[in-house]
Amino acid sequence: QVQLVESGGGSVQAGGSLTLSCVVSGRIFGSYGMGWFRQVPGKERLIVATITSSGGDTYFTDSVKGRFTISRDNAKNTVYLQMNSLKPEDTAVYYCAARQWASIALRTADYKYWGQGTQVTVSS
């Protein structure tokens, strides 16, 4: 059983920063591709960033490029999303996701395991 537990969400003012963490249970975290998605009420869940199993390749959706960083620590079974220069439009529930392949993937259907989500609210 693979479980993902996110933390680090909260409320900040525009221009502020937050770091989300996602701890993954299981012995083969190092083989999983990982992603961060976000969702606002009434809309679909969309990719924010993704990272390969080794951490050697990353992808960011255009709206967060230059502001967000994704990283992972395979020794700690943890993936991070560092969010800087936050904007009100970044407000959403953020979800961590894991897939059983190492490569970059952008669709929700590509990921098998999901966390419960953590709320990020950015006020203007």
According to the model, what pLDDT value does residue 74 have?
93
pLDDT, tens digit, 9 for 90 and up, residues 36-58: 999 999 999 999 999 999 999 99
Q: For position 14, what pLDDT does the model report?
A: 98
Query: Tokens 């989500």 label which residue?
Result: 117
Mean per-residue pLDDT, 89-115: 96
Residues in CB range of 32: below 8 A, 6 or more apart: 24, 53, 98, 99, 100, 102
Q: Which 8-state DSSP code applies to residue 108? A: G
